[in-house]
């Protein structure tokens, strides 16, 4: 079946305003073309760009014999929109191979913004084909670095030092492209990203340098803040240590220690710390305690103990009493040991699935020390819990026990057989489903061919075979998706059988295949018209608006382009307003979805200055509308009376109060909205900016801007 190339492209649409901006300071960034190529290597692209400039961009992706693809390998060029660490405003996914309808070469039109894009090949096994495209701001945009600042907080002593911890908080602002990152470096360490306030607890003098970078790549001059961190003074220790003692050894039934007893003394002090521990045995003088005290003299004993900390505090004396008895006669008798086997048995006496062996031992003299076992001649291991055996077959478990005197019993064993349980019988047929894929026309019919994929699943014995029958023919084994290219209506029946012999009820899927329509070889029809106010000489006063239309009765119009005064062709998305005075020539053309492009047509027109010689209270030709220092971003258009929007707002005028200015702006905006100079969104932006401004509140700069 022929491979098909699918292109998903994100376009940034710019709709021109009804009125032109005044005195634009820079022309739009020129278009650029970025090219990726791929070949037989599925670990990397043959070539790929590393950098680009923000703006409208033509993306070219080619995977053909010309770029080294001699095996017909399929690749994609996919922009990652799921990873928040990268730009995700461009959704691009181009599939290409030498055998597709474009010969492996595809293009797409996108708009790039400053930042980093991650691209990759989405084909299975091609995950190493990945890279990054760094996009910088176009020339003439934001060149001003952010403003960064720092503040230090914490508890200070009389000398102004921060006790225990100082916390540094960084912030930055950028009124143009916006802050991208803040970085800091503590005590000449390398710079690292700032994500949260920096807590510094190491004692001593510190310097924290910081800087910020905006989204246009401008980095502020490094600044620094100095501070000192000091350790808190510890409180005075007036508390004696805590002490305790434990007695260990082998006890008889009366609780007496047989042969010897060992006394271990411990002390803790949470403030200054333990300095010394002392002990006195049976009323003797105190002596330093350095290790556990062993007492082997038969009789009753008292060991007194105390401790002193490094601040000189001594604990109250405490004591522990115990008795040492002479050792009994030596135990020379081994323990008695036994075993029992439990589990579900079948009629043959075999244990079904699992047998559990429980061991036990007794010793009336020194007592049982350990029990050991060995399964099927494996090495002996310590017995701690019943032993579960679930391996099918005959088994022998050998066991023995040892008492605390070292006597080990004679080895014994128990024999048993474990058998596997019979599996439940599978009586459920497999689950089946089918899907039809291919290119469909507006009637839902498949053009040229349709592919039917059949799947089956069985959670018990598993699927054995899948069968299908096309258009009433005999069933045949299904081994791969079925491609149907014969035109007409079709029915594909399918069924599946599992390994237990259960066959599913036959199901079917219906579809229609039609022949492909003839290829479109005719370019679109394209025309243009000009609107605006003309003077007696036929020139357009103030501005002229060019509207281009196109039609295509076969594959349909794919796009319209225009070129103004010999400039590059640009994508046409709506009427084009021309405000620059002088003679102009507009070229225009259209392309259909089959790739046919019309022969360029042209029209000529003249624009003359439409502003009256007088009547505006001031001259304010800034490119965008301002309210005081607040830039609304709305183009500063020429209005119906010849004045710009800024000239009507008069934000530098001496206003009675802020409310009077805001009310004035509201009246101006409502009038411009009715006249069609601005749209609803722009009207709201100007009103909001007026409310945020300081006009009417306080003095501003000498130019009122």
CA 222 to CA 215: how far, in whole Å?
A: 17
**Structural domain includes residue 388:** yes
369 and 310 belong to one structural domain = no
Please compute the mean of the pLDDT values over residues 236-261 and round it to a whole number: 93
User: Which phi-psi region, left, alpha or beta, contains residue 472 (left: φ > 0; alpha: ψ -120 to 50)?
Assistant: left
Please compute the mean of the pLDDT values over residues 391-412 and round it to a whole number: 96
116 and 13 belong to one structural domain = yes
Query: pLDDT-derived band of residue 56, with 50, 70 and 90 as boundaries?
Result: very high
* Distance, CA of 492 to chain centre: 43
pLDDT tens, position by position, 476-488: 999 999 999 999 9
Q: Are strands 336-342 and 318-325 parallel, antiparallel or unpaired?
A: unpaired
259 and 379 belong to one structural domain = no
The residue segments making up the domain with residue 646 are: 624-692
41 and 104 belong to one structural domain = yes
**Structural domain includes residue 566:** yes
CA 609 to CA 539: how far, in whole Å?
A: 10
Give yes or no for a contact between 114 and 217, defined as CB atoms under 8 angstroms apart: yes
* Distance, CA of 174 to chain centre: 26
487 and 546 belong to one structural domain = no
- Residue 193's pLDDT is 97
**Structural domain includes residue 619:** no
**Structural domain includes residue 703:** no
CA 645 to CA 596: how far, in whole Å?
A: 44
**Structural domain includes residue 541:** yes
Quick one: which of 322, 411, 342, 328 has its CA closest to 373? 411
Q: Is 104 exposed, middle or buried (0-12, 13-18, 19+ CB in 10 A)?
A: buried
Quick one: which of 96, 92, 140 has its CA closest to 112? 92
User: Which phi-psi region, left, alpha or beta, contains residue 378 (left: φ > 0; alpha: ψ -120 to 50)?
Assistant: beta
44 and 69 belong to one structural domain = yes
Q: 81 pLDDT exceeds 60?
A: yes
- Report percent pLDDT > 70 for the chain: 93
- Residue 617's pLDDT is 73
DSSP class of residue 66 equals G
Burial 375-412 (b: 16+ CB within 10 A, else e): beeeeeeebeeebebeeeeebebbbbbbbebebebeee
In this structure, what token pair is assigned to residue 116?
């980093």
- Tell me the helix, strand and coil percentages in the chain, rounded to 5: 5, 45, 50
396 and 454 belong to one structural domain = no
- Residue 520's pLDDT is 87
- Domain stops at, among 482, 514, 546: 514
85 sits in which H/E element:
none
CATH number of the domain enclosing 405: 2.60.40.2550
DSSP class of residue 644 equals B
Query: pLDDT-derived band of residue 9, with 50, 70 and 90 as boundaries?
Result: very low
For residue 482, what are the CA distances in angstroms to 245, 368, 450, 473, 510?
85, 74, 8, 14, 13
Is the sign of the CA dihedral 673, 679, 682, 687 positive or negative? positive
CA 188 to CA 226: how far, in whole Å?
A: 12
**Structural domain includes residue 450:** yes
3-state secondary structure (DSSP) of residue 67:
helix
pLDDT tens, position by position, 609-630: 765 556 677 788 888 999 989 9
395 and 440 belong to one structural domain = no
Query: pLDDT-derived band of residue 185, with 50, 70 and 90 as boundaries?
Result: very high
CATH number of the domain enclosing 561: 2.60.40.10
**Structural domain includes residue 83:** yes
- Residue 16's pLDDT is 29
Roughly what angle, to the nearest 10 degrees, separates helices 658-675 and 680-692?
170
122 and 12 belong to one structural domain = yes
Quick one: which of 78, 114, 119, 81 has its CA closest to 96? 78
How many C-alpha atoms does 360 have within 13 Å on its Cβ side?
A: 4
Tally of domains in the chain: 7
- Domain stops at, among 325, 349, 382: 325
- Domain stops at, among 202, 230, 258: 230
In this structure, what token pair is assigned to residue 141?
């945009």
654 and 678 belong to one structural domain = yes
464 and 486 belong to one structural domain = yes
Give yes or no for a contact between 380 and 399, defined as CB atoms under 8 angstroms apart: no
CA 162 to CA 204: how far, in whole Å?
A: 10
pLDDT tens, position by position, 275-292: 999 999 999 999 999 999
311 and 344 belong to one structural domain = no
- Residue 496's pLDDT is 96
DSSP class of residue 595 equals S
**Structural domain includes residue 701:** no
pTM of the model: 0.27
């Amino acid at each position: 079946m022929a491979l098909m190339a699918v292109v998903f492209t994100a376009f940034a649409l710019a709709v021109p305003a009804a009125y032109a901006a005044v005195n634009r300071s820079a022309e739009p960034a020129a278009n650029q073309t970025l090219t990726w190529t791929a070949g037989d290597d599925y670990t990397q692209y043959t070539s790929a760009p590393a950098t680009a400039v923000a703006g409208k961009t033509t993306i070219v992706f080619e995977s053909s014999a010309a770029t080294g693809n001699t095996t017909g390998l399929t690749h994609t060029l996919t922009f990652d929109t799921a990873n928040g660490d990268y730009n995700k405003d461009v959704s691009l996914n181009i599939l290409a191979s030498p055998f597709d309808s474009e010969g492996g070469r595809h293009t797409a039109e996108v708009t790039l913004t400053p930042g980093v894009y991650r691209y990759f090949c989405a084909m299975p096994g091609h995950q190493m084909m990945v890279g990054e495209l760094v996009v910088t701001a176009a020339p003439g945009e934001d060149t001003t670095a952010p403003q960064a600042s720092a503040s230090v907080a914490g508890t200070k002593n009389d000398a102004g030092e921060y006790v225990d911890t100082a916390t540094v908080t960084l912030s930055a602002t950028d009124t143009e492209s916006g802050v991208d990152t803040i970085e800091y470096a503590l005590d000449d360490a390398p710079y690292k990203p700032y994500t949260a306030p920096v807590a510094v607890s190491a004692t001593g003098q510190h310097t924290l340098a910081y800087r910020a970078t905006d989204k246009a790549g401008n980095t502020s001059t490094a600044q620094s803040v100095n501070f000192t961190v000091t350790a808190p003074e510890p409180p005075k220790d007036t508390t004696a240590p805590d002490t305790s003692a434990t007695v260990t050894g082998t006890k008889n039934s009366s609780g007496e220690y047989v042969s010897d007893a060992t006394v271990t003394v411990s002390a803790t002090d949470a403030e200054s710390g333990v300095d010394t521990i002392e002990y006195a045995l049976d009323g003797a003088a105190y002596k330093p305690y350095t290790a556990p005290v062993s007492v082997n003299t038969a009789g009753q004993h008292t060991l007194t103990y105390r401790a002193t900390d490094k601040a000189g505090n001594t604990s109250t004396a405490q004591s522990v009493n115990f008795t040492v008895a002479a050792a009994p006669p030596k135990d020379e008798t081994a323990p008695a040991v036994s075993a029992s086997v439990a589990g579900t048995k079948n009629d043959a006496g075999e244990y079904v699935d699992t047998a559990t062996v429980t061991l036990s031992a007794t010793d009336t003299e020194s007592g049982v020390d350990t029990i050991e076992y060995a399964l099927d001649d494996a090495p002996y291991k310590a017995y701690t819990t019943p032993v579960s055996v679930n391996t099918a077959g005959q088994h022998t478990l050998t066991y023995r026990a040892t008492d605390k005197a070292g006597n080990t019993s004679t080895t014994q064993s128990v024999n048993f057989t474990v058998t596997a349980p019979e599996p439940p019988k599978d009586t459920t047929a497999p689950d089946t489903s089918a899907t039809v894929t291919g290119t469909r026309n507006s009637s839902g019919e498949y053009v040229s061919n349709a592919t039917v994929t059949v799947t089956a699943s069985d959670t018990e014995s598993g699927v054995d075979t899948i069968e299908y029958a096309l258009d009433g023919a005999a069933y045949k084994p299904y081994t791969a998706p079925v491609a149907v290219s014969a035109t007409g209506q079709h029915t594909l029946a399918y069924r599946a059988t599992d390994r237990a012999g259960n066959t599913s009820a036959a199901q079917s899927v219906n579809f229609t295949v039609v022949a492909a329509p003839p290829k479109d070889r005719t370019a679109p029809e394209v025309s243009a018209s000009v609107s605006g106010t003309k003077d007696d000489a036929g020139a357009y006063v103030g501005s002229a608006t060019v509207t281009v239309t196109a039609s295509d009765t076969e594959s349909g119009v794919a796009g319209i382009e225009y070129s103004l005064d010999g400039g590059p062709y640009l994508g046409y998305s709506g009427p084009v307003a021309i405000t620059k005075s002088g003679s102009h020539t507009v070229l225009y053309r259209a392309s259909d979805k089959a790739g046919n492009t019309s022969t360029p047509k042209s029209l000529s027109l003249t624009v003359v200055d439409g502003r009256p010689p007088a009547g505006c209270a001031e001259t304010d030709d800034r490119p965008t509308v301002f309210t005081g220092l607040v830039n609304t971003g709305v183009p500063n258009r020429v209005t119906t009376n010849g004045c710009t929007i800024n000239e009507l707002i008069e934000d530098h005028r001496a206003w009675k109060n802020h409310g009077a200015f805001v009310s004035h702006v509201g009246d101006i905006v409502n009038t411009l909205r009715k006249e069609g100079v601005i749209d609803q969104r722009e009207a709201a932006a100007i009103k909001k900016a007026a409310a945020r401004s300081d006009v009417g509140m306080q003095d501003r700069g000498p130019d009122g801007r």
